[in-house]
Structure 1
Amino acid sequence: MAANGTIAELVQAQWGDHRPGAKFGDLTLTQHQLAAGAAARAALLGDTLPRGAEPHIGVLLDNVPEYPLWLGAAALAGAAVAGINPTRRGTELARDIAHTDCALLITERAHLPLLDGPALPMPRERVLVVDDPAYQELIKPYEGALPDEIAAAGAPTPASRMLLCFTSGSTGAPKAALCSQGRLAAAGHSLVGYLGVRRDDVHYLCMPMFHGNAVIAGWAPALVGGAAVALRRRFSASAFLPDVRRHGATYFTYVGRAVQYLLATPPAPDDRDHPLRAGFGTEAGAVDAARFADRFGVRLTEGYGSSEGGAALQRSPDTPPGAIGRLAPGDDLAVVDPDTGSELPRARLDAAGRLLNGEEAIGELVNRGRSSFEGYWRNPEATAARTGGRAAGRAGAGWYWTGDLFFRDTDGFFHFAGRTDDRLRVDSENLAAAMIENILARYAPATGVAVYAVPDPVAGDQVMAALALRDGAAFDPDDFVAFLAAQPDLGTKMAPRFVRTLAALPVTATNKVHRVALRRAGFRCPEPVWWSPLAAGPAGTAYRPFTDEDRTALLALYKDHDRTPLLDR
């Protein structure tokens, strides 16, 4: 890690470089201006932090130039940035700020209403509002600060905390994963080599910077490679290509459903008229990645690397469609049974790449070797669980448990199969929601698909699917049954018992499908639900509307078996 140095050294290297460094609307800051602005803010930080406080800065901003400026400032000062999610509210937002021991909060006028209700863990004078004239007056005395001098005083090292990245768990309060300057710099160096980042590149940051994707996979490689970043306050599918053309963007990162939103925009004859070279992210899926390449002429690379830094897979030119990649040299990753830690058999795929033995091949991805996981801030229980301590005596203590389901084919390629929280157990058979989603994604009338478990009224789970339908499309149960029957890789337990149809899938602030909301609503949602009372499998499934009478009768069955509380899990 030390060989890659620190983020502070990379910020210092921007000094004297007058090429573009950050673009935002009509504003362009040079690399030199970014370094100078970071030094000024780091000097202000040194005079503002109370003695003895943790050097943690909460940043509650959209993607505006102040965000990378404060990232640079934290690096020079040996401080850490906690990205605060603006979609959090009230006591939850105040909890995130307090949990990460933020001694200073950087925000903007648009987000001030979020701070009106909760009791903040710092006095109001340590809330800096970047678009308030008083903020510029506050910065002015520090504008002559030099990055080298600030870094010498802050004494940052590769081990210095740099980021407190909140991870979105399916239940409970978000955890703040630690990321040191050395780990962030190492990630930047790795992606520069992997993506071939050039000094004349422009990285388009349209994913929220409070999330690890934009900082680790977008800002860090740009900083290492000497490239510029172009900032979009918030992701907009309709503004994507105009922004790319305006800023000359060559690379972008994505998470969640961003790619699907882009594909849902009306096709235009100039869809390939842009400078984009590549996209890098997660959860686009093989089908949509192929559609994106066909329409926009841009190859999407699906990567895998946890925000915690515990495991990563490396894509190579021979990686087959649908796979993530192989082990990086020296790594020891495996797919194991989550209960026993035993390595599972390799997956068998047919000629079309369809999984034939998912029941025995799908398990949790673990790193049995050395990982760069640095723990969670003030959460030893979660740290212990991630490193195998969550079940006393379980094999694999000391490994890094990713919480993600994978299978590994006979050629050694790893394939993502969902989250451990997205496992379903139907008639004693274990299923992965992502595998069913990959199949249902072929259904032409649907623009988006989410599969999740609803408790069976007696034992185990039942499969429920949410389908976002194209404009003007209506759910045709006979057509859907014919589609299911035509899918050779749809197992006998995979056909959805319930189908919810809606205009758009609910998403989180990072454009990931809001699975918790879908699971909790289940079949009690306001949108139309269709169901197959007999659940006879893909060949014999038949769907009819799920009526109020059906709901009443089914809820009574849950009550009879004392399983009603499971509906709210």
Structure 2
Amino acid sequence: MSRTSSDTITWSMMLRKLPSIAKALPRVVKGMKVANVKDPTQPCGLGWSFEQATLRNPDGPALLYGELSLSYAQVNRWANRIAHHLIEQGIGKGDVVAVFIENRPELLVTILAVTKVGAISALLNTSQTGDTLVHSVNLVAPVAIVVGEELVPTFLAVRERVSIEAARTWFVADQNTYNHPGIAPEGFINLMTASVDADSDNPATSQQVYFDDPCFYIYTSGTTGLPKAGVFKHGRWMRSFVSFGRVALDMRPADVVYCTLPLYHATGLCVCWGSAISGASGFAIRRRFSASQFWSDVRKYRATTIGYVGELCRYLVDQPPSADDSRHGVIKMIGNGLRPDAWREFKTRFGVSHICELYAASDGNIGFTNILNFDNTVGFSLMSWALAAYDHDSGTPTRAANGFMRKVGKGEQGLLLAKIDDKAPLDGYTDPQKTEKVVLHDVFVKGDRYFNTGDLLRHIGFGHAQFVDRLGDTYRWKGENVSTTEVENILLKHPHVSEAVAYGVEIRNTNGRAGMAAITPAESLATLDFSELLAFARQQMPAYAVPLFLRVKVKMETTATFKYQKTRLKDEAFDPSRTGDDPIYAWLPGTDTYVQVTQQMLSDIQGGLYRY
């Protein structure tokens, strides 16, 4: 499926940005100096950067949550007390402390305290339970765990299967523990009570953390298997918080970032919180995203900046229009995954002038940022990268007769490869074998090494890239490559479709994968005219990309980071006996509408009665 000419960045577009470039250049140069820590004895990282922000803006708001507002000095002293207590309990540099708390100030203060010790926070996904949770804990062998009251039942269900001694099983009450520590249940130590009288000065250990020391373990979502623990080092924290907060957003003490994203993932924790810390700015958080309360929260906290992922924006756009839509102080937003169909609507309806779309992966070594505020791009990267030709069936980059890979041309989509060097080291995973699987050797010259992101991007000019798809989210049908993202974007233009997830499914005795889409009607199933919907799809996209099957869902299931659960959708495919209350529809060869699939029709399709 082809791009539109408006995607390409031209000379005239760049010339119009010259004033912005001239304005940004000094902070870019200064930011690069701060971010590019090379001295192995230079203190840096999360604890160091927070202490610097505290010196810069001690009385300014650091954390806002509900009616609670804590200054940088207050948060820093709170984290220091916890850090000193952890040290007294024998927690030292390089030890792993599992953290299992939902979005609230106690989560961030605990993480900050652990990093000041020089220990590593294993950021457990708060939606995990049972075997997956046991796997995630045991994978990193923590010497201690901090459990929020809201997750105690989940932890108790697996406690006997993880090896953490009771004396280091800490509890954090689900309330304002800055003022009211609460009471721990039997078998737990109340972390806030135990640390309340500890020293509140910066611990010496926070000056003994260096760029190559691990800061967090951040888990992959595990949608296609058990989660992996990605290593996020303090040197990468420095690159992240400077690149996004100082260079891209130019954060200042008067700014406030509002974030409803889960803080066990890098976008919320490193991009959004890191951006706030870089400017000694406020960081306002909410336990969970609420579309109906989003803008009222923004006004309450006087936010100037919001963190987002694409589906969050979609939910906000789908809210009924209001006279208050642009009555707020937000002028910039940072995140990823905003679809082209929602980009302009979001920008104009809500009056946000700068959409700082980014590309990054918690387990990778490269980041792109839309510093110059072009539409529909992840921006550019100062790291060394290339888009390589790849084999669609295997998903691996192809090599020419000389043994090296081929870079695709401008405007073409290719597999994003990020060079691994001193400037962009790969922190990888806790499991070295899993790290080695994503490293490519002898790519363009003998001896070079590249990280295989597994993502497809398109070069649109002047070093800028456009995200196309996850490699696993493209499929091949009728000899053509189909991008699920582009199919979804087109379906979402239909007035009666509010959500769309596209994927490929197998039909017996055919080559490749046929297109299928799960859709949520904007109103109800009764409002969908399947003949008209098919005609719309056929008009808007190439014949090979038109979905052959539709699954109609009242509500689309997503992960905590608003990612659709495609693995399950692909597995259940178009078998009505496996899709519960979701009706399945098929476009049969030679017809001009979608018809509901019965078990008999399923047998006929899989038996080859219809020639696809």
> Which residue identity lines up with residue 213 of structure 1 in the other structure?
T
Task: Give, in whole Å, the separation in 2 of the partners of 1:171 and 1:68.
Answer: 29
Of the three residues 245, 265, 276, the one matched with 2:319 is: 265
Task: Give, in whole Å, the separation in 2 of the partners of 1:206 and 1:49.
Answer: 34
Of the three residues 232, 241, 253, the one matched with 1:188 is: 241
Structure 1 residues 424 and 190, CA gap change in structure 2 (3 angstroms): same
> Which residue identity lines up with residue 68 of structure 2 in the other structure?
L
Task: Give, in whole Å, the separation in 1 of the partners of 2:266 and 2:315.
Answer: 21
Task: Give, in whole Å, the separation in 2 of the partners of 1:486 and 1:149.
Answer: 66
Partner of 1:253: 307
Could you tell me whether the CA contact under 8 Å between 2:44 and 2:209 is conserved in 1? no
Task: Give, in whole Å, the separation in 2 of the partners of 1:344 and 1:432.
Answer: 20
For the pair 1:463 / 2:515, whether they are aligned, the reply is: yes
Structure 2, unpaired ranges of 5+: 1-35, 174-181, 185-189, 391-395, 400-404
Partner of 1:163: 216
Structure 1 residues 148 and 48, CA gap change in structure 2 (3 angstroms): closer
Task: Give, in whole Å, the separation in 2 of the partners of 1:165 and 1:465.
Answer: 31
Structure 1 residues 396 and 479, CA gap change in structure 2 (3 angstroms): farther
Structure 1 residues 541 and 130, CA gap change in structure 2 (3 angstroms): same
TM-score normalised to structure 1 length: 0.88
Per-residue deviation, 1:214? 0.5
Could you tell me whether the CA contact under 8 Å between 2:229 and 2:429 is conserved in 1? yes
Partner of 2:75: 34
For the pair 1:227 / 2:281, whether they are aligned, the reply is: yes
> Which residue identity lines up with residue 435 of structure 2 in the other structure?
T
Partner of 2:194: 138
1:407-463 deviation digits (Å, cap 9, x = unpaired): 223665322111111120112322221122222221221111111111131232111
Per-residue deviation, 1:95? 1.2
Per-residue deviation, 1:372? 3.1
Partner of 1:479: 532
Could you tell me whether the CA contact under 8 Å between 2:272 and 2:307 is conserved in 1? yes
Q: How does 1:427-446 map to 2 (within 5 A)?
A: 427-446=478-497
Partner of 2:47: 8
Q: How does 1:546-565 map to 2 (within 5 A)?
A: 546-555=597-606
Task: Give, in whole Å, the separation in 2 of the partners of 1:13 and 1:421.
Answer: 42
1:79-120 deviation digits (Å, cap 9, x = unpaired): 111111121111211111111222221122111111122222
Partner of 1:354: none
Structure 1 residues 125 and 475, CA gap change in structure 2 (3 angstroms): farther
> Which residue identity lines up with residue 336 of structure 1 in the other structure?
A
Per-residue deviation, 1:151? 2.3
Q: Structure 1 stretch 434-443 or stretch 209-218: which is displaced more? A: 434-443
Task: Give, in whole Å, the separation in 2 of the partners of 1:150 and 1:39.
Answer: 11
Could you tell me whether the CA contact under 8 Å between 1:38 and 1:73 is conserved in 2? yes
Q: Structure 1 stretch 307-316 or stretch 174-183: which is displaced more? A: 307-316
Structure 1 residues 93 and 510, CA gap change in structure 2 (3 angstroms): same
Task: Give, in whole Å, the separation in 2 of the partners of 1:543 and 1:24.
Answer: 48
Number of aligned positions between the proteins: 533
**Structure 1 stretches of 4+ moved >4 Å:** 391-397, 555-558
> Which residue identity lines up with residue 406 of structure 2 in the other structure?
E
1:40-74 deviation digits (Å, cap 9, x = unpaired): 111121123468x9511211111111122122212
Q: Give RMSD over aligned pairs.
A: 2.6
For the pair 1:508 / 2:563, whether they are aligned, the reply is: no
Could you tell me whether the CA contact under 8 Å between 1:38 and 1:72 is conserved in 2? yes
Per-residue deviation, 1:406? 1.5
Partner of 2:206: 151
Task: Give, in whole Å, the separation in 1 of the partners of 2:379 and 2:286.
Answer: 30
Structure 1 residues 410 and 199, CA gap change in structure 2 (3 angstroms): closer
Per-residue deviation, 1:170? 4.1
Of the three residues 520, 528, 539, the one matched with 2:583 is: 528
Could you tell me whether the CA contact under 8 Å between 1:49 and 1:55 is conserved in 2? no
Structure 1 residues 439 and 75, CA gap change in structure 2 (3 angstroms): same
Task: Give, in whole Å, the separation in 1 of the partners of 2:447 and 2:557.
Answer: 36
Secondary structure of 1:322's match?
Answer: coil
Structure 1 residues 62 and 396, CA gap change in structure 2 (3 angstroms): farther
Partner of 1:565: none
Secondary structure of 1:257's match?
Answer: helix
Per-residue deviation, 1:244? 0.9
> Which residue identity lines up with residue 120 of structure 1 in the other structure?
V
Per-residue deviation, 1:126? 2.0
TM-score normalised to structure 2 length: 0.82
Could you tell me whether the CA contact under 8 Å between 2:385 and 2:418 is conserved in 1? yes
Structure 1 residues 174 and 557, CA gap change in structure 2 (3 angstroms): farther
Q: Structure 1 stretch 396-405 or stretch 196-205: which is displaced more? A: 396-405
Per-residue deviation, 1:505? 1.8
Structure 1 residues 397 and 433, CA gap change in structure 2 (3 angstroms): farther
Could you tell me whether the CA contact under 8 Å between 2:426 and 2:451 is conserved in 1? no
Structure 1 residues 556 and 381, CA gap change in structure 2 (3 angstroms): farther
Task: Give, in whole Å, the separation in 2 of the partners of 1:362 and 1:455.
Answer: 24
Could you tell me whether the CA contact under 8 Å between 1:105 and 1:126 is conserved in 2? yes
Structure 1 residues 148 and 121, CA gap change in structure 2 (3 angstroms): closer
> Which residue identity lines up with residue 409 of structure 2 in the other structure?
R
Secondary structure of 2:287's match?
Answer: coil
Q: Structure 1 stretch 27-36 or stretch 408-417: which is displaced more? A: 408-417
Could you tell me whether the CA contact under 8 Å between 1:469 and 1:504 is conserved in 2? no
Secondary structure of 1:37's match?
Answer: helix
Task: Give, in whole Å, the separation in 1 of the partners of 2:495 and 2:446.
Answer: 44
For the pair 1:128 / 2:170, whether they are aligned, the reply is: yes
Task: Give, in whole Å, the separation in 2 of the partners of 1:291 and 1:551.
Answer: 40
Could you tell me whether the CA contact under 8 Å between 1:175 and 1:376 is conserved in 2? no
Task: Give, in whole Å, the separation in 2 of the partners of 1:291 and 1:310.
Answer: 32
Per-residue deviation, 1:147? 0.7
Per-residue deviation, 1:318? 6.9
Of the three residues 58, 61, 64, the one matched with 1:23 is: 64
Of the three residues 376, 389, 398, the one matched with 1:340 is: 398
> Which residue identity lines up with residue 185 of structure 1 in the other structure?
M
Q: Structure 1 stretch 98-107 or stretch 132-141: which is displaced more? A: 132-141
Of the three residues 141, 146, 150, the one matched with 1:106 is: 146
Structure 1 residues 88 and 256, CA gap change in structure 2 (3 angstroms): farther
Could you tell me whether the CA contact under 8 Å between 2:309 and 2:338 is conserved in 1? yes
> Which residue identity lines up with residue 138 of structure 1 in the other structure?
A
Q: Structure 1 stretch 380-389 or stretch 18-27: which is displaced more? A: 380-389
1:355-395 deviation digits (Å, cap 9, x = unpaired): xxxxxx33211124536353334312221121126x99999
Secondary structure of 1:213's match?
Answer: helix
Could you tell me whether the CA contact under 8 Å between 1:311 and 1:366 is conserved in 2? no
Per-residue deviation, 1:169? 4.4
